[in-house]
Structures are given as C-alpha cells and as structure tokens.
C-alpha cells in the first residue's frame, strides 16, 4: 500500500514525531506507514487523515 503521508506532512510542516503525537502513536508507526510496511486499522487511518486535514481516500492508495 502506498501513502501520501510524507507529502501531507511537508504541506503542514510536521515532523514524523509531531504527527505521531497528534495521532497518539510512536514515531516508528508513522515511519512504517510512510514506507508502506504497515497497514493501519480503520481508526488509525481516520486519525492520521484527520490530523492532516484530508480524507482517508486522499491519503492512502490501496
């Protein structure tokens, strides 16, 4: 699975650590999401999309 998390983080000038804190996960989780090595739960996908002010469909490419 591909994501646009890194692109949206850059848009809002957020580090991986900043996003992780907003979502309530460890920075490593954001790293794995960005690399496509971790498929998030629906709740996590929703929380990340909300933190980045976008939709799940816009953020994750299935």
Q: Considering the domain 2-56 in this protein, what is its CATH number?
A: 1.10.260.40
Contacts of 41 (CB under 8 A, 6+ apart): none
Phi and psi at residue 38, to the nearest 5°: -140, 125
- Domain assignments of the chain as residue spans, ordered by start: 2-56
Residue 6: predicted pLDDT: 97
Q: What is the pLDDT of residues 39-54, one digit of tens each?
A: 999 999 999 999 999 9
Q: What percent of the chain has pLDDT over 90?
A: 97
Q: What is the pTM of this model?
A: 0.92
Task: Give the number of C-alpha atoms closer than 13 A to the C-alpha of residue 54, restricted to the C-beta side.
Answer: 17
Structural contact between residues 31 and 16, judged by C-beta atoms closer than 8 angstroms: yes
């Amino acid at each position: 699975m591909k994501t646009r998390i890194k692109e949206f983080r850059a848009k809002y000038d957020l580090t991986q650590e900043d996003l992780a804190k907003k979502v309530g996960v460890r920075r490593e989780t954001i790293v794995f999401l960005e690399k496509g090595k971790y498929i998030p739960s629906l709740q996590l996908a929703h929380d990340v999309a909300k933190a980045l002010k976008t939709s799940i469909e816009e953020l994750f490419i299935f």
